[in-house]
Chain A
Amino acid sequence: MSEWFHERMPVFKEVSNHLKNYKAPKNLNFWYFFGSLALLMVANQFITGIWLLMYYTPDASLAMSSIELMMREVSFGWLFRYLHAGGASFIFIVIYMHIFRALLYGSYRSPREILWWTGCLMLVVFMAEAYTGYVLPWGQMSYWAARVIMSLFKTIPFIGDSLVLFIQGDYEVSEVTLHRFFAFHVILVPLIILAFVGLHTLALHAVGSNNPDGVEIKDNLDKNGEPVDGIPFHPFYTVKDIMGASIFLFIFLSVVFFAPRGWGLILEPENFEIANYMVTPLHIKPSWYLAPYYAILRAIPSKGLGALAMLASIAVFALLPYLDRSPVKSMRYKGPLSRIALGSFVIAFLGLLVVGGMEVSPLSITAARICSFLYFGYFLFMPIYTAIDKHGVPPDRLSL
């Protein structure tokens, strides 16, 4: 009977067979959990988002009250709110770990350039989703963060001012903006995310996954044409990923149930006050996951150049396939210069993250400048240090 169905709608059988046939390297480690975890968190945002949609009203006077009333009057309403807000922060933790894996093992190198670029674009799309979502409660931070980011767009030469008028729908951020950000956040950007998830997966399955040795498993085929160091994705990585998801969920849900405001990082105190268009909060800061880029923006004294630096700090990731001149892909076989460079990049990123949430002061600006230099240095000096660096010899067969 299932034959009857599969004859007429083959896609389900095709996907199932593909999962059993698709070969992944057998040595994937801790850093390889974060792709499937990202998918899990995207599903979380979709499902909790739909349930929130049943109660949220995108009107300036009703936005915050609809959320707060849902949290009090709807059975488990508080759970959907905390899962969604916490989920946004955890999605960025997962994404940053996922990107770090690529930096560690050279997953951006040929033949995975397109895979890498779909990922880079997805990072920007997720930032847009998070930003438009953060505006929706229409608290003080929601409104003033919208104001600040819109003023950033104004720095774009020639088209800046008109572009902002078109995005805002009003002469200044207002409830008109709220309503269209609602449309962007709920359907436009999620559809783009879904499309990118599809493209990203297709790009991955076309070339196959990289691995911690940076050695292509397809270079070593057995007499059936299958990679000798490859194992079927199902059941090995399906089981492993479910195990990883269980551990991750333990961490995520312990925050959602016991510290849902995230010590001020997930739900900021200032955002519990309703937006006041005439009173600016003493300390406007972005969500922690956007803080590094905000720090880079503030590090440059010029408004236009600062915005350009902020844009460059994300765009520069796309150049990695061409910046990395090392003969080996994986950090396991790269030399001390590459290791120091990656280490300093991580420290710089974390430093920028911390500084981006701090108030402007001589100390914080100096720290931001040093960290920005290290951040960009990782990329811009890479053609040099990867070329001259010592390197080991990766093995022919994967080491577990």
Chain B
Amino acid sequence: MSEVDQKFKVDQKKRRLLQLASVWGAAGIVGGATPFVSSLYPNRSTQLKGKPIDIDVSSMKVGEQKTVMWRGKPIWVVKRDQDEIAALPSLNNQLRDPDSLEPQQPKYAQNLHRSIKPEYLVLIGVCTHLGCSPTYRPDKGAIDESWPGGFFCSCHGSKFDMAGRVFSGVPAPTNLEVPPYHFREDGQLVIGEESPNE
């Protein structure tokens, strides 16, 4: 073999080895980085704190709002009366998303009253504008003359109706979010997970 051929063979060998080392080394770096990246995910104790919670709604009065913290956010449970529910369609032409087409709720809440049971409204109490927590204002005329009852965010004036649907002409872009929830057989409301039967 000529010297040039020999050198070419040696270079080829070096190149192969270099490629092999690079691939194996890259795999090693990915494997080595995995623990560091995966450790950033919420740890076991934090996940435990974020487990679904039970709420007893049996003693709630009509018009009452219960607030609980789940995964760092306020969750509202409001017991509505039949008139409020019946009045909801009449507001449709004042709302941005009256039929809840935007993905702000699970499919069992994609209805007129935005809930499983019409009388219990379950919402995440965080304004969809910039994250303040709105105030529950059920009384008609409380904010202005035409106020039908609902939720008012005093940070920038966003308004939501008694199903958490956002009014047109306010800064908030979408309806208030509905968290995953279901009712257990014994009537307890479980926030944080959909019904296991589905």
- B39:A75 contact, CB within 8 angstroms: yes
Of residues 71 through 97 on chain A, the ones whose CB sits less than 8 Å from some CB of chain B are 72-77, 79-80
Contact with B along A41-82 (1 / 0, CB 8 A): 000000100010000000000000000011011111101100
Assembly CA distance A72 to B43 (angstroms): 9
Neighbouring B residues of A242 by C-beta, 8 Å: 21, 25
Number of interface residues of A (CB under 8 A): 13
The minimal Cβ–Cβ distance linking A95 to chain B, given in whole angstroms, is 23
Beta-carbon nearest neighbor of A50 in chain B = B36
Nearest chain A CB to B104 CB, angstrom units: 31
A51 to B40, CA, bound (A): 9
Is A47 touching B39 in the complex (CB atoms < 8 A)? no
Query: Which residues of chain A have C-beta atoms less than 8 A from B72's C-beta?
Result: none
- Interface of A, helix, strand, loop or mixed by DSSP: helix
Q: Is the CB of B35 within 8 A of A76?
A: yes
**Chain A CB within 8 A of B38 CB:** yes
Number of B residues with CB within 8 Å of any CB on chain A: 10
Q: Are B41 and A75 in contact (CB under 8 A)?
A: yes
Q: B38's contact among A70, A73, A75, by CB below 8 Å, is which?
A: A75
Query: In this assembly, does B93 line the interface, its C-beta being within 8 Å of a C-beta of chain A?
Result: no
Cα-based distance from A74 to B35 in the complex (angstroms): 10
Q: How far is the CA of A41 from the CA of B44 in the complex (A)?
A: 30
Q: Which residues of A contact B36 (CB under 8 A)?
A: 47, 51, 76
A77 to B43, CA, bound (A): 10
Contact of B45 with A by CB under 8 A: yes
Max count, chain A CB within 10 A of own CB: residue among B21, B38, B43, B45:
B43
In the complex, chain A residues 335-389 whose Cβ is within 8 Å of any chain B Cβ: none
Minimal Cβ-Cβ distance residue in B for A79: B35
**Which of B39, B43, B45 is in CB contact (< 8 Å) with A51?**
B39
Nearest neighbor of B44 in chain A, beta-carbon distance: A73
Bound state CA distance, A362 and B169, in angstroms?
A: 90
B39 / chain A contacts, CB cutoff of 8 Å: 51, 74-77, 80
* Cβ contacts under 8 Å, A75 to chain B: 35, 38-39, 41, 43
Give, as a whole number of angstroms, the nearest-CB distance from B35 to chain A: 4
A47, A73, A79, A80: the one within 8 Å of B43 (CB)? A73
Which residues 19-51 in B have Cβ within 8 Å of A in the complex?
Answer: 21, 25, 35-36, 38-39, 41, 43-45
Residue picked from B21, B25, B39, B41, most chain A C-beta under 10 Å: B39
Q: How far is the CB of B197 from chain A (nearest CB, A)?
A: 32
Chain B minimum-CB-distance residue to A69:
B45
Can you name the residue of chain B whose Cβ is closest to the Cβ of A47? Answer: B36
Q: Does A73 contact B35, Cβ atoms closer than 8 Å?
A: no
Name the distance in Å between B108's Cβ and chain A's nearest Cβ. Answer: 33
- Chain A 229-260 interface 0/1 with B at a Cβ cutoff of 8 Å (1 = within): 00000000000001000000000000000000
- Residues of chain A within 8 A of B45, CB atoms compared: 69, 73
How far does the alpha carbon of A79 sit from the alpha carbon of B44 in the complex, in Å?
A: 16
Q: Name the CB-closest residue of A to B33.
A: A47
Residues on B with C-beta less than 8 A from A79 are: 35
Distance in angstroms between the alpha carbons of A372 and B74 in the assembled complex: 68
> How near does chain A come to B45, taking the closest CB pair, in angstroms?
5
Given the complex, which residues of B lie within 8 Å of A76, measured CB to CB? Answer: 35-36, 38-39
Could you tell me the distance between the alpha carbons of A74 and B38 in the complex, rounded to whole angstroms? Answer: 9
Contacts of A80 in B (CB 8 A): 35, 39
Chain A residues closer than 8 Å to B44, beta-carbon distance: 72-74
Q: Which residue of B lies closest to A243 (CB)?
A: B21
CA gap between A73 and B47 in the complex, in Å: 10
A51 and B25 CA atoms in complex are apart in Å by 23
Expressed in whole angstroms, the minimum distance between the Cβ of A243 and any Cβ of chain B is 9
Q: Which of A70, A72, A75, A76 has the most CB of B within 10 A?
A: A75
Complex Cα–Cα for A75 and B43 (A): 7
What are 18 inter-chain pairs, A to B, with CB distance below 8 A?
A51-B36, A51-B39, A69-B45, A70-B43, A72-B44, A73-B44, A74-B39, A74-B43, A74-B44, A75-B35, A75-B39, A75-B41, A76-B35, A77-B39, A77-B43, A79-B35, A80-B39, A242-B25
Q: Which residues of B contact A (CB under 8 A)?
A: 21, 25, 35-36, 38-39, 41, 43-45
Query: Which 5 pairs between the two chains have the least Cβ-Cβ distance?
Result: A76-B35, A73-B44, A74-B43, A73-B43, A73-B45
